[in-house]
Structure 1
Amino acid sequence: MSEQRWIPLESNPEVLNKYIHSLGVPESCQFVDIYGLDDEMLAMVPQPVDAIILLFPSTEKVEQNPIGTVEPNPSVPIYYMKQSIRNACGTVAMVHAVANNADKIQFDDTKHFVKFLEATKDLSPEDRAAALESDEQMGSAHHESAQEGQTQAPSQAEDVNPHFVTFVHKDGGLYELDGRKEGPVRHRDTTVDNLLKDTAEVVKEFMKRDPDQISFTLMALIHLKD
């Protein structure tokens, strides 16, 4: 981790939507809440789902019992970046969600996200992290969004326990993207249509690792059809 510290983001679709739209992601792309993991709750999530962001308690029990297979050099075309800024996991998760669906998104090329993506698309995960560290516009957008939540934002100096990760479908696989890991984590086979349901099964495994914890929240990135 670098010495940089950001104010943590709130797990709030309204906050993330304002964030991504300010960076040039169209309003047809939106984050929505996932209210539960059973079939009835999952059926309430608009389809298609392009990515899922999970906020979970990063406890010792969770960290000492990893699931899935880390792929430091994945054979699939996946955009993965390391996290080097403390408390920046929300932005890293957002970048993972949007960048891995860039082929479906009509960006506003006068705004900043597409410029960041273009500048980093051929970089290593470590160099992408370094690019985020030095990107004043991304940093400014993050800090503005961190002040937008419904609860008081933690201080910049505070290390927070909850951690954001992203789940995406790539080439028939369900991948977890966590900037603290050595690479993308492959969990299981999946399809575009089954991404939400299969991610819910993986999240249930997350919860089993530390059943005393209840602070799990989920959001889906969707795109609204015309």
Structure 2
Amino acid sequence: MAPKRWIPLESNPDVLTKFGHALGLSPMMSFCDVWSLDLLDMVPSPRYAVILLFPLTEKILAAEAKAAAQQETDLSKQPFFCKQTIGNACGTIAVLHAALNTLSDAFPLQDGSFFHKFLHKSKDMNPSQRAAALQEDETLDSVHEEFAQQGQTTAPNANEKVDVHFICFVEHDGVLYELDGRKDTPVNHGSTTPAAVLQDSATVIKEKFMALDPAENRFTILALTMGQ
């Protein structure tokens, strides 16, 4: 099957929240903008996950390549992780990672939703098998297309080259993980706690993304929080 290409999602908290809800994210959760990494107290709490949109510059890609050898290969004790094989699907993968790694009795997935069905279908799959399952799912195609047309800017063509990328940060078993569908495994960024996931993600974003290309300003950060 030829790889699919989608219209990219906009980094818009309202769009991503409605998109997440349509796929099964708990209606009690929502995404909000993180306007400043120096004013994190302004972000509603509790915070469950962080999504970063960043530019794929030469400096950032070179640093990623250098760090790739340090990635862990044992997925048995790591968070739910899915590879990305659909073009421009990084926003959807980031929302999926946020939703499926922040489940709790208080915030379950909606019964019968896409996320609910996908979690149960793919729980024993490896990341590449999960990617193949998404590739074959036509329901997700239509939902993604609907929300890719929303937002404050005109949606680009699906075949247009996009040089920005979504990833997600989550806490799992006391570790902060970066979940990037372009990579083979989650990236371990050291210890954290559920209460510190935003602060620790902010530190990683500053030091391992923004500092690599200080002239760049195409960074957008959102936090998954209690619904507003």
Normalised to the residue count of structure 1, the TM-score between the two structures is 0.93
Matched letter for residue 88 of structure 1: A
Distance (Å, rounded) in 2 between the aligned partners of 1:174 and 1:82 = 18
Looking at structure 2, the residues matched to 189 and 107 of structure 1 have their Cα atoms a distance apart, in angstroms, of 27
Equivalent pairs, count: 223
Q: Deviations over 1:166-193 (max 9, x none)?
A: 0000111110000111200011211111
Structure 2 match to 1:210: 213
- The alpha-carbon deviation at position 26 of structure 1 amounts to 2.6
Q: 1:132-153: per-residue Cα shift (whole Å, max 9, x none)?
A: 1111111111111100111011
Between 108-117 and 68-77, the greater mean CA deviation after superposition: 68-77
Residue type at the aligned position of 1:58: L
1:77, distance to aligned residue in structure 2 (A): 3.7
Q: Is contact 1:120-1:128 (8 Å) kept?
A: yes
Instruction: Give the equivalent residue in structure 2 for 1:93.
Output: 94
The 5-angstrom pairing of residues 110-189 of structure 1 reads 110-189=112-191
Q: Is structure 2 residue 44 aligned with structure 1 residue 46? A: yes
CA distance in 2, matches of 1:108, 1:194: 27
Distance in 2, matches of 1:153 and 1:170, equals 34
Q: Alignment RMSD, CA only?
A: 1.7
Check the 8 A contact 2:54/2:164 in 1, yes or no: yes
Q: Secondary structure at the match of 1:193?
A: helix
- What per-residue deviation string (whole Å, max 9, x for no partner) do you get for residues 11-46 of structure 1? 0010011111112323211011100101xx200111
Identity of aligned residues (%): 48
Report the 3-state secondary structure (helix = DSSP H, G, I; strand = E; otherwise coil) of the residue aligned with 2:133: helix
Secondary structure class of the residue paired with 1:65: helix
Displacement of 1:4 in angstroms is 1.1
AA matched with 1:18: K
Task: Write the deviation string for residues 67-94 of structure 1: whole angstroms up to 9, x where unpaired.
Answer: 5841122352410010001110000111
Bigger fraction of residues in helix: 2
Q: Which residue of 2 aligns with 1:192?
A: 194
Using the TM superposition, give the Cα deviation of residue 224 of structure 1 relative to its aligned residue in structure 2, in angstroms.
4.3
Distance 1:151 1:16 in 2: 14
Contact kept in structure 2, 1:15 and 1:148, CA below 8 Å: yes
1:106 to 78, 86, 108: 108
Structure 1: runs of 5 or more not aligned: none
Q: 1:223: Cα distance to partner? A: 2.5
Amino acid corresponding to residue 92 of structure 1 in structure 2: I
Bigger shift: 195-204 or 106-115? 106-115
- Could you tell me which runs of 5 or more consecutive residues in structure 2 were left unpaired when the two chains were aligned: none
SS at match of 2:210: helix
